[in-house]
Chains A and B, each alone.
Chain A
Amino acid sequence: MRLKTTLFLLALLAFISSLIGVYIHYTSLQANFLAKAREEGESKAEAMRIRLSAFLSEQLKPVSALAGMEQLEDALIFKSDGKLKAANRVLDHFNSALGVDVCYLMDSNGDTVASSNRFDADSFVGQNFKFRPYFQYAMRSVPRTYLALGTTSLKRGVYFSYPVHSDKRLEPVGVVVIKDRMEKLEELLSTGTGELIFLTAPSGIIFASSSPQYIFTSEGKITPEVQRELSETRQFGEGPWEWSGLSYPEPNTAYDRLGKKYLVYRRGVERFPGWSIQVLVESDYDYLNYLKPLYSENRPLVLPLILLICVSVGILYRRASMEVLQRRNAEAALRHNEERFRTLYNQTPAMLHSIDPSGRLVRVSDYWSELLGYSREEVVGRNLTDFMSDESREHAINVVLPNFLRDGFAKEIEYTFIKKNGEPIDVLLSAITERDDEGKIFRSIAVLVDVTERKRAERGLQQARKMLENYSRDLERQVRERTLEITNILKYTPAVVSLKDREGRYLLVNSRFSEMFKIGSDKVRGHSDEEIFPPDVATLLSGHDRRVLEAREPFSVEERMEWEGAVRVYLTVKFPLFDEDGVVTGVGSISTDVTALKEAQEELRRLSSRVLEGQERERAAVARELHDELGQVLTALKMDAVWLAERLKDGDERAADHAHKMSENIDRTIDEVRGMVMNLRPGVLDDLGLIAALEWLSDEVERRTGIPCTFRHSELPRLGTVAETAIYRIAQEALTNVARHSGAARAEVALKREAGNLILTVYDDGEGFDVEPGKPFESHGLSGIRERAELIGGSVEITSVSYGGTRVKFTLPIDAHIREPEN
């Protein structure tokens, strides 16, 4: 921009200086002209003055000659017609000889006695000009030249007066006057165009002029005094004398009405004090006039020249500024390219470096420095080989670099560089050179590929391959071992194992399978159950296969299987077989013979049941014994004691009292025995049945604990003793638990029949407890409940909410337990 501005300023300067040149030239021309014009004006004014002087003195000698004529003297003295005639003749003679306007003769009174124009209409004869100064001066013997407007002829003229003397008298006898025409003077004042010449009276009145319009105008404004004076003298007629319109701001400069400027050259007039002759030269007119020749001569050249200069300057400026712009753009593009190149170079995610012919680094990419751990400042200017391992350096100096400088390229050279932290890095280097215009190498560019990882990977790969070989050998061995193990397991396991495909065809069976079904595995493989076994067995064997295939989950089931007359119970686990993609390809089955276990379990259950039954029986027996025997005896004793007390009441009061106390003791003992009995086994249960027993139990719990306990029930048939006992004991245990743990404000026992089930619910609103999943009974001493429930084929569910109460719900399928009607 600066350059452009400079350029613009230069162009402007050139233009301005040429203008200044023209101006200076012009002004000097003008000054020159003005000086010349002034000189010319001065000389013109001088010439005018000389001409005027000549004109004004022209008739001096003739008038004196005329005054000396005798005829005139005679005429004045004698005033006879003859004399006058002679005088007139003289006057005529002079008039025509001199070529003046008029010649006339006045007597001492001022009356005109003879005149050359005596025959004209405006004849002076008889006219008196006594008032004229030329007359008065002449009468005082002073000849006089006088400029005035004729009062009779109304013509301007120069009056030359001369006294006419007579020898006899001292004083003049008359005055002779030659009046010359002013026009004659004016002809003398010939002017060029643009010039004005004035003859101006002392009063400022222009008396004669080259331009008639100015005659009898006044140079300046006329004061009334001058006006009056002028009117008196009648020198310039009657007036009025208007202002010429010329103003003189300076003595030698004037402007006319139209503002035209004139240069004024003034000269005094000899013998006419106050009078002046002025030459006014129109300054512009004259200037142009002067210049015109020059101008018109050069005009065809000047304008085009100026235009040419302007255009040339413009074009040059434009060319130059375009050049500047182009250069600037080129520079910017170059800079941008350079920048881009640098950015590209630096930021390329590859290791790049450039070296000069001496092998010194001149440039490296970010990645290069980053990978080697040096900053760019640390490496630029240093020898490339400084960063190599010893081996690589030697190789580079002796082989690679000379070849590279000779050939101009290098390809996939293996080097090892050393990072700043000392780690080696393996690279593959490829490089080319850049040559200058003379074909000399001045720079190079090299691309390095980090092959450390690749090399490491290659080594790793080799190792891995070796390991893999070992591993696969090991694997094969293991597979063999495992296969052997599995084969042995399958062979010796007591379980029956089989694998089937999706279509139910056997893929594998173990020896136990063959033994059990007495069929060789080769006959089984590839066949389905339906093809091998009778329909009932086949159904059993393939029964759950479909389900496992669909659910994709293992499934276990206990199955009873009758085979060749023996019933066995199997615990069968069926499981889906998956391939690697998780597709189910078949079903595996492992069946374990649990017949013995089941029998043992059943035995245990029976035993347990017998134990409980026995316990109950024992309790019942003991209770009955206590109740019926001890209770009765005590009752009998009590009766006796009462009887005694009654008997002794009137006789032995002490004994009676004692008997009474005895009775009371017996009563207490009865209570204790009753308590024991009820605890062992309430007679109500056996005598009145479950409902009465539960009702009593509820009352008893409430009585003992103070927790209100309601019992509700629907109509129910009597159940078997075992069932009733179990239900009673479950309720008892649950209520015991309520009393012991819950802190309840209320308990409820309910017994109802619902869809073939008998449901016992024991609820309390106590604080509850967290039911441990899977172990609800063990955790709260309720295991007896479960045992009893399971023994008679019922189930128990316990729900407990912390601070929301506990509900023990026992469900028993009722049908099996309804008591057979007696008889």
Chain B
Amino acid sequence: MIKVLLAEDHSLVRAGLCRLVDESGNIEVVAEAEDGKEALDLIRKVAPDVAVIDISMPAMDGFELLAAISSEFPALPVIVLTMHEEPQYVVRAISSGAKGYITKRSAPEQLVEAIGKVYGGGLFLTSFAAEALAVNAAGGGKLDSPLEELSNREIQVLRRLAMGQVNREIAEALSISIKTVDTYRQRILKKLGLRNNAELSRFAIKQGLVDL
């Protein structure tokens, strides 16, 4: 049984999560905390295998907690489970030491899998999270990067193109029209001075946008 600590200030949600985890059979919620402080205390007490923590919490929020865990229990894999869906949160969470990032609404589908994955020493990232990380790593927004001229959205499209996704797939994933995807593609090629998708892929790999 994998022992899980759940730090979530909202009781309703916590209850829902407990149910999700308990029903999985091989995972057990060993401790529930309402805020960060409590969570840290409980970790010290029960030594869970995995910590699932929310970001928005009173008295020490998720990032502070994450920082504390990273320094005090570096081996404890932490999954950030949050309402926030902005890529910036993903980047922040992972760079702060989280091993997984899940939005609350995808929890029913992904939480159990994520706990298993991080418990096994892996990193659980949804495609959305992976993308956010890649975009950030590629330096989008930072000055003096080769991708300086590109917006984050363009970097997203670039990455997906580099990974071999077709326009339709990209359009669906980003909730934009196929035509817009093509517009993006043209724009990216022009801005980077590339000629085709092959060059584009090579460029993305070189910039570390895509893992081989």
A703 CB contact (under 8 Å) in B13, B16, B91, B153: B153
Question: If A667-B105, A696-B88 touch, does A709 touch B151 (CB 8 Å cutoff)?
Answer: yes
Q: Is the CB of B83 within 8 A of A633?
A: no
Q: Is the CB of A635 within 8 A of B104?
A: yes
Q: How far is the CB of B208 from chain A (nearest CB, A)?
A: 18
Residues from chain B with Cβ under 8 Å of A693 in the complex: 88
Residues from chain A with Cβ under 8 Å of B12 in the complex: 632-633, 636
Interface check A711, CB cutoff 8 A: yes
Q: Which residues of A, 678-712, contact B by the 8 Å Cβ criterion?
A: 682-684, 687-688, 691-693, 695-696, 698-699, 702-703, 706, 708-712
Q: How far is the CB of A539 from chain B (nearest CB, A)?
A: 48
Interface check B20, CB cutoff 8 A: yes
Question: If A636-B10, A712-B142 touch, does A706 touch B180 (CB 8 Å cutoff)?
Answer: yes
Q: Is the CB of A636 within 8 A of B16?
A: yes
Residues from chain A with Cβ under 8 Å of B154 in the complex: 708
Interface check A713, CB cutoff 8 A: yes
Q: Which residues of B, 71-116, contact A by the 8 Å Cβ criterion?
A: 83-89, 91-92, 104-105, 107-109
Q: Is the CB of A670 within 8 A of B105?
A: yes
Q: How large is the interface on B (under 10, 10 to 19, 20 to 34, 35 or more residues)?
A: 35 or more
Question: If A639-B20, A643-B16 touch, does A710 touch B151 (CB 8 Å cutoff)?
Answer: yes
Question: If A632-B10, A635-B83, A639-B19 touch, does A687 touch B63 (CB 8 Å cutoff)?
Answer: yes
Q: Considering residues B13, B88, B108, which has the most beta carbons from chain A within 10 angstroms of its beta carbon?
A: B88
Interface check A223, CB cutoff 8 A: no
Residues from chain B with Cβ under 8 Å of A684 in the complex: 84, 86, 88-89
Cα(A752)–Cα(B16), bound, Å: 45
Bitwise interface map of A from 80 to 99 toward B, beta carbon under 8 Å scored 1, else 0: 00000000000000000000
Q: Is the CB of B149 within 8 A of A710?
A: yes
Q: Is the CB of A643 within 8 A of B151?
A: no
Q: Is the CB of B151 within 8 A of A712?
A: no
Q: Which residues of B, 10-32, contact A by the 8 Å Cβ criterion?
A: 10, 12-13, 15-17, 19-20, 23
Chain A residue nearest to B150 in the complex (CB): A710
Q: How far is the CB of B131 from chain A (nearest CB, A)?
A: 12
Residues from chain B with Cβ under 8 Å of A643 in the complex: 16, 19-20, 23, 108
Q: How far is the CB of B171 from chain A (nearest CB, A)?
A: 13
Q: Considering residues B10, B20, B108, B149, which has the most beta carbons from chain A within 10 angstroms of its beta carbon?
A: B108
Q: How far is the CB of B138 from chain A (nearest CB, A)?
A: 13
Interface check A714, CB cutoff 8 A: yes
Question: If A628-B10, A687-B55, A699-B153 touch, does A636 touch B15 (CB 8 Å cutoff)?
Answer: yes
Interface check A310, CB cutoff 8 A: no
Question: If A683-B56, A714-B143 touch, does A708 touch B153 (CB 8 Å cutoff)?
Answer: yes
Q: How far is the CB of B87 from chain A (nearest CB, A)?
A: 8
Question: If A709-B151, A711-B141, A713-B142 touch, does A688 touch B89 (CB 8 Å cutoff)?
Answer: yes
Q: How far is the CB of A116 from chain B (nearest CB, A)?
A: 178
Q: Is the CB of B149 within 8 A of A627?
A: no
Interface check B34, CB cutoff 8 A: no
Top 3 nearest A-B pairs by Cβ distance? A639-B16, A636-B12, A642-B108
Other than the given A674-B85, A688-B88, 10 more pairs (CB < 8 A) read A632-B10, A632-B13, A635-B16, A635-B104, A635-B105, A639-B13, A642-B108, A708-B187, A712-B148, A752-B143
Cross-chain pairs A/B with CB under 8 angstroms, 22 sampled: A636-B10, A638-B104, A639-B17, A643-B16, A643-B20, A646-B108, A666-B105, A682-B86, A684-B84, A684-B88, A687-B56, A687-B61, A687-B63, A692-B86, A695-B141, A696-B86, A698-B141, A708-B187, A710-B148, A711-B141, A711-B151, A712-B141
Report A's interface with B, CB cutoff 8 A.
624, 627-629, 631-633, 635-636, 638-640, 642-643, 646, 666-667, 670, 674, 682-684, 687-688, 691-693, 695-696, 698-699, 702-703, 706, 708-714, 752
